[in-house]
Amino acid sequence: MSNGALSSEAAPPNLTFLPGRPSADVARSWLLVNATREDQLAAALASNADQIVLDIEDAVDPVVKPEARASVAAWLSEPGHRAWVRINDRSTPFWSGDVDALAGLPGLIGVMLAKTEDGAHVTETFDRLGGNTPVLALVESALGIEEAVAIARARGCFRLAFGSGDYRRDTGASADDLAMAYPRSRLVVASRIGGLPGPIDGPTVGTAHRLLREQAEVAVSLGLTGKLCLDVAQLPVINEVISPTPSDVAWARNFLADFDARGGVIRDGSDLPRLGRARKIDKLARAFGVEPAS
Closest Cα to residue 70, out of 49, 54, 59?
54
Q: Is-contact 15 203, C-beta < 8 A?
A: no
Per-residue model confidence (pLDDT) at position 20: 76
Give domain 29-242's CATH architecture: Alpha-Beta Barrel (3.20)
Domain assignments of the chain as residue spans, ordered by start: 29-242, 246-288
Does the structure show a pLDDT above 60 at 130? yes
* pLDDT tens per residue across span 155-186: 999 999 999 999 999 999 999 999 999 999 99
pTM: 0.89
Q: What's the whole-number mean pLDDT along residues 138-164?
A: 98
Q: What's the whole-number mean pLDDT along residues 28-39?
A: 93
Instruction: Tell me the percentage of the chain whose pLDDT exceeds 90.
Output: 82
* pLDDT tens per residue across span 196-232: 999 999 999 887 899 999 999 999 999 999 999 999 9
Per-residue model confidence (pLDDT) at position 207: 77
Average pLDDT of the chain is 91
Name the β-bridge partners of 227.
29, 201
**C-alpha to C-alpha distances, 49 to 5, 158, 230, nearest whole angstrom:** 13, 19, 11
Per-residue model confidence (pLDDT) at position 233: 94
Per-residue model confidence (pLDDT) at position 282: 93
Does the structure show a pLDDT above 50 at 10? no
* pLDDT tens per residue across span 55-114: 999 989 999 999 999 999 999 999 989 999 999 999 999 999 999 999 999 999 999 999
pLDDT tier at 267, thresholds 50, 70, 90: confident
Does the structure show a pLDDT above 60 at 30? yes
Closest Cα to residue 285, out of 251, 261, 262?
251
Does the structure show a pLDDT above 70 at 1? no
Closest Cα to residue 134, out of 11, 284, 6, 24?
24
